[in-house]
Structures are given as structure tokens and as C-alpha cells.
């Protein structure tokens, strides 16, 4: 499976939390040839099963992305909005956005706020989306309260790096699909799950894990790096050196048994990896871990610069190795 081609396909259908259906349908179609069962559950998770006689392993990547939701149209036709997921407000200034109906617009800031506030003090309430409408009435014919918008921008390959909106977490969805295609046989009972509403509280992972009742859970997501001058947090994680095996983040202490399983799989498959300790943020593994009586959980991360921006950056080499590591994890008897 061509990971870049798959990502580009999914990224063209990027939708924020609660609106993932187009992406879910695309993933279900792509997964069909590689598993025994595919279903979309009540909340919208795509659950793909490769049957095996052994323990249940749930592997997850979230298909929702961060986005904006329209809350108000003012008299001049400018749109006010709230957030679906986490944004640093001032980083939105100048961003091009795409509404679900295909209409474009750009985010700008009230002049008074720009003059009187420090950048870090700017709030979403200071921002507006300009779609070129001349009045409230004309804007109302193009958009309505409750409509959502996502970052505009096509993926761009720069050498072996990929620059694009929504590497978080659609690049991991593409990698998980690739891992699925690489697994021909396993003694484990495998569940490849593409979850909804991660960005607003790990909701899809929680309901999917409750239904599957896995013995082990491993999610795939992006993680921060420490290899660029803009990062305040010092980390050893770098682009192009391989996927990371998470030890902890703000939401999760990974189980030592799962960490060992992933490390052994990497060594057996000659996959380079980095150890990850993330001081902030969290992943679907935190929800999986707390399901029912508890689930042994861990995480494979793809190093990513500028997370939650319009220009996230990952190494395609890291992505391919992440897919390989997840496939090895799935094939290795638990």
C-alpha cells in the first residue's frame, strides 16, 4: 500500500471531531480487502478485524482532525467561530480554511486586539473568518451556524519529508492501513480501529475499546520533536530517526509489558526506534487503558513538527517504519 497516496486521499476528506463520516467511509473501503470484518459502529469508529485464535489486540489511530465550528454571523458577513480540538489562537491568523461545502475563507484578527494585546493573549473571540460575503444576509446564503471548517492545503513532499495539514492523525491512519495490509497471518485476534472524536476527549477510543474488550491496546499517533529551534520542551525525539515507542505522556503511563513487546518486535524486524517521554498531551491509549477492568496499553508515535498547525511536518521514512513496527507487533504472539 502506498502510504503517501493513501494519506493524500484521506487528507482530502479531513473532517473535525463529530463530522468524520466521509473519512470513515473511505477507510472502510480501503480496509476491506485486508481483513475479515469491517464495520462502522454507532459513534462512527471504523473497526476492522483480522480473526485469530489468541489474545485480542486493539490497534488504533484517530481519524478526526481539529477544526472550527461557526457560532455567529455578524452584520457585515464575517463569521465568528469556536474550536473543535486544540488551537493556539494567534497561530490561526492568516490561515486559509475550507468549509464543508467547499467554500474557502481566511482567518483574521480584530484590529483592536492586535494593537492592544500580546500575541499569546489573543483569544478565539478576537478572530473571525472572512468568506468574502458583503452582508449577514449574503453570508447566510453560503454558510450557517454549526457548519465546520478545516485547514486548506494540499500535501507537499519536500525530499523525504511531508509537509501538510492534518498529519495529526491522518498520517497514522494511512500507516495503520499499511500495517494491516502487511499482516498476512497472526495468532492474535486483531482489531484495527480508526477512532472518532479523539481531539475532543478520546471518546471514540473509549466506546470501541469497551465493545472489543481487548487484552492489549496500542495506538498510533504523532508526537512532538526536540529538533527545531521553536520548541520550548527539550526532547530527544527527532525526525528521520524512526518511530518512537512511548514510555509516558501526560495522560498515560505505558505498561512495561507492552513497551517490551514493541521493543522486541522492533529488534526482530530491524526497525530503528526512539524512546519517548512526552510531558504534555495524550492519545487514545489513555482511554483504552482505562476500559472495563483495565487494558495493557502502549503507543507507537510518529515524530511530527508543528503539531496542530497548517504546516505539520513528518518524515516519510519514519511513517513507513511506524507501519512496519505496528505490523510486527500484530504478528508477534502476545
**CATH for 99:** 2.40.30.40
The fraction of the chain above a pLDDT of 70, given in percent, is 99
Residues 97 and 241 in one domain: no
Whether residue 56 is found in the same domain as residue 109:
no
Per-residue pLDDT, 231: 60
| d(C-alpha 51, C-alpha 189), whole Å | 5
* 144: exposed, middle or buried (Cβ count in 10 Å: 0-12, 13-18, 19+): exposed
9 and 58 in a common domain:
yes
Q: Where a domain ends, among 125, 151, 177? A: 151
**Same domain (yes/no): 61, 77:** no
Overall average pLDDT of the 232-249 stretch:
91
For residue 229, what pLDDT is reported? 85
Residue 79 falls inside a structural domain: yes
Mean pLDDT of the chain: 97
- Identify the band that residue 33 occupies on the pLDDT scale cut at 50, 70 and 90: very high
| Residue 53 burial by Cβ neighbours in a 10 Å radius (0-12, 13-18, 19+) | exposed
Q: What is the pLDDT of residue 235?
A: 85
Specify the pairing of strand 46-50 against strand 37-40. antiparallel
Does 160 map to a domain?
no
Q: Using CA atoms, how far apart are residues 251 and 303, in angstroms rounded to an integer?
A: 18
Q: What is the tens place of the pLDDT at every residue in 246-300?
A: 999 999 999 999 999 999 999 999 999 999 999 989 999 999 999 999 999 999 9
Q: What is the mean pLDDT of residues 109-132?
A: 96
Domain of 202, in residue numbers: 3-65+165-331
Model confidence over 53-69: pLDDT tens digits?
999 999 999 999 999 99
Burial 87-120 (b: 16+ CB within 10 A, else e): bebbebeebebbbeeeeebbbbbeeebeeeeeee
| Residue 232 binned pLDDT confidence (cut-offs 50, 70, 90) | low
- Are residues 118 and 55 part of one domain? no
143 and 253 housed in the same domain: no
Q: pLDDT value at position 60?
A: 99
Which member of 198, 199, 276, 312 is catalytic? 198
| Dist CA 228 CA 225 (whole Å) | 7
| Angle between helix 3-11 and helix 167-182 axes, rounded to 10 deg | 140
Residue 221 shares a structural domain with residue 314? yes
83 and 58: one domain?
no
- Residue 179 pLDDT greater than 90, yes or no: yes
Q: Same domain, yes or no, for 146 and 61? A: no
- 225 has pLDDT over 70: yes
Mean pLDDT of all residues in 123-139: 97
- Shared domain for 203 and 234, answered yes or no, is yes
Catalytic annotation present for 198: yes
Number of domains in the chain: 2
Amino acid at each position: 500500500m502506498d502510504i503517501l497516496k493513501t494519506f493524500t486521499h484521506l487528507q482530502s476528506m479531513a473532517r473535525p471531531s463529530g463530522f468524520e463520516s466521509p473519512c470513515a467511509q473511505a477507510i472502510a473501503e480501503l480496509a476491506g480487502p485486508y481483513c475479515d470484518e469491517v464495520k462502522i459502529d454507532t459513534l462512527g469508529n471504523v473497526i476492522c478485524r483480522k480473526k485469530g485464535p489468541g489474545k485480542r489486540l486493539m490497534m488504533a489511530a484517530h481519524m478526526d482532525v481539529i477544526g472550527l465550528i461557526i457560532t455567529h454571523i455578524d452584520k457585515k458577513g464575517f463569521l465568528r467561530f469556536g474550536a473543535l480540538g486544540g488551537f493556539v489562537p494567534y497561530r490561526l491568523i492568516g490561515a486559509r480554511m475550507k468549509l464543508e461545502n467547499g467554500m474557502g475563507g481566511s482567518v483574521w484578527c480584530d484590529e483592536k486586539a492586535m494593537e492592544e494585546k500580546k500575541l499569546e493573549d489573543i483569544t478565539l473571540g478576537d478572530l473571525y473568518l472572512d468568506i468574502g460575503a458583503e452582508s449577514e444576509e449574503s453570508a447566510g446564503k453560503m454558510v450557517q451556524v454549526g457548519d465546520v471548517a478545516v485547514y486548506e492545503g494540499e500535501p507537499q513532499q519536500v525530499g523525504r519529508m511531508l509537509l501538510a495539514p492534518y498529519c495529526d492523525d491522518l498520517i497514522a491512519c494511512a500507516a495503520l492501513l499499511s500495517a494491516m495490509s502487511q499482516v498476512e497471518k497472526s495468532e492474535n485476534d486483531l482489531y484495527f480501529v480508526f477512532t472518532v472524536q479523539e481531539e475532543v476527549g478520546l471518546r471514540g477510543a473509549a466506546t470501541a475499546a469497551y465493545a472489543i474488550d481487548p487484552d492489549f491496546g496500542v495506538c498510533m499517533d504523532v508526537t512532538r520533536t526536540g529538533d527545531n529551534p521553536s520548541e520550548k520542551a527539550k526532547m530527544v525525539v527527532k525526525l528521520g530517526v524512526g518511530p518512537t515507542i512511548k514510555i509516558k505522556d501526560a495522560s498515560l503511563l505505558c505498561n512495561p509489558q507492552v513497551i517490551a513487546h514493541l521493543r522486541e518486535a522492533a529488534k526482530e524486524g530491524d526497525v530503528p526506534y526512539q524512546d519517548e517521554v512526552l510531558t504534555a498531551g495524550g492519545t487514545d491509549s489513555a482511554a483504552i487503558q482505562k476500559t472495563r477492568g483495565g487494558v495493557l496499553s502502549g503507543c507507537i508515535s510518529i515524530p511530527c513538527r508543528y503539531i496542530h498547525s497548517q504546516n505539520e511536518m513528518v518524515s516519510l521514512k519514519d511513517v513507513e517504519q511506524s507501519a512496519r513496527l505496528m505490523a510486527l507487533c500484530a504478528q508477534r504472539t502476545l
